[in-house]
Amino acid sequence: METQETTIEEQALIDAAAEVRRNAHVPYSGYRVGAAVMDEAGNIHTGCNVENAAFPVGTCAEANAIGSMVAAGGRRIVAIAAVGGKDAIEVCTPCGGCRQCILEFSDNETRIILIGEGGSINYYTIDELLPESFRLK
């Protein structure tokens, strides 16, 4: 994990994640997550978590944002920001499944930006979050 200079584009990505977090459908956990992905063309795609009465059917914010990117034609994650928490913002590190989803469209230059308590901005690489990862050759 690193803290470093945040670019204007990255701040826009963080803002988009915080904005879409407001639309999260979380009647069961109350835990809202918003994610925003910047693709290789500089386009931003967002997603929030969408829970379901049949709990395992619920989907995560990061996976939904990546789905939006792919549907729009994006194929590489330049940066992804996630903002989560129940009442206040807390560090929301992606679940295991979302890490694998991020890996699919990432390389080690991909910036994974997680917002922590007090608004701290923390940077990770996919290799830090998912070491020894599975890829099909």
> DSSP labels for 56-112?
GG-B-HHHHHHHHHHHTT---EEEEEEEEESSS-B--PPPHHHHHHHHHT--TT-EE
Specify the amino acid at residue 43: N
**CB of 103: closest distance to ligand THU in angstroms?**
14
**CB of 97: closest distance to ligand THU in angstroms?**
8
Q: Pick between residue 7 and residue 130 the one whose CB is nearest to ligand THU.
A: 130
52 belongs to the binding site for ligand THU (CB under 6 A): no
> Binding ligand THU by CB under 6 A: which of 16, 17, 20, 33?
33
Active-site choice (62, 90, 109, 117): 62
Do the strands 32-39 and 121-124 form a parallel or antiparallel pair, or are they unpaired? unpaired
Ramachandran angles phi, psi of 55, nearest 5°: -45, -45
Joined tokens for residue 97: 């499944």
Give me the residue label for tokens 């830090």.
Answer: 128
Joined tokens for residue 113: 């930006």
> Binding ligand THU by CB under 6 A: which of 12, 15, 19, 31?
31
Choose the binding region for ligand THU from 14-22, 93-101, 103-111, 113-121 (rule: CB under 6 A): 93-101
10 belongs to the binding site for ligand THU (CB under 6 A): no
**40 catalytic residue (yes or no):** no
38 belongs to the binding site for ligand THU (CB under 6 A): no
Q: Which residues are catalytic?
A: 62
